[in-house]
Amino acid sequence: MQFTSVSDFLAMGGYGFYVWLSYGVTALLLILLVVASNSQNTAVIKHILARQKRENKLRQAAVQQKQQQNQASALANNTNVEVKHVNDSNEVSP
């Protein structure tokens, strides 16, 4: 141990300001870099997930539209009342 007291340690032989400035700035920049890198990682994952959800929704909407059209056409034709139960929706749900 090179220092006898805490105030001695903080003073750094008169160079306290410069030494602590260096260590402080280094710590700050590195913490910022780690936090930024981490949050970019989560942001990308969230972005991909959001797009996936949107795609799923669009696909489901398309399937529903198809079903409604089928029903409408079935009613309009009035020949075949039984509606096909489309199983596609099961495949879509994740």
According to the binding rule CB under 8 A, does residue 81 interact with other proteins?
A: no
* 8 Å CB contact between 63 and 92: yes
CB of residue 47 to other proteins, shortest distance in Å: 8
Query: Which among 70, 90, 89, 92 is positioned nearest to 81, based on CA atoms?
Result: 70
Question: Could you say which residues in the range 34-73 bind other proteins, by CB under 8 A?
Answer: 34, 36-38, 40-42, 44-49, 51-52
CA Rg value for the chain: 32
Can you read off the two tokens belonging to residue 72? 């409408």
The CA-atom distances, in angstroms, between 68 and each of 3, 20, 73, 79, 92 are: 82, 70, 8, 17, 17
Instruction: Select 37 or 77, whichever has its Cβ closest to other proteins.
Output: 37
Quote the least distance from Cβ 88 to other proteins, whole Å.
19
Among residues 4, 14, 76, 87, which is the contact residue for other proteins, using CB under 8 A? 14
Site residues for other proteins per CB under 8 A: 1-3, 9, 12-15, 18-19, 21-23, 25-26, 29-30, 33-34, 36-38, 40-42, 44-49, 51-52, 94
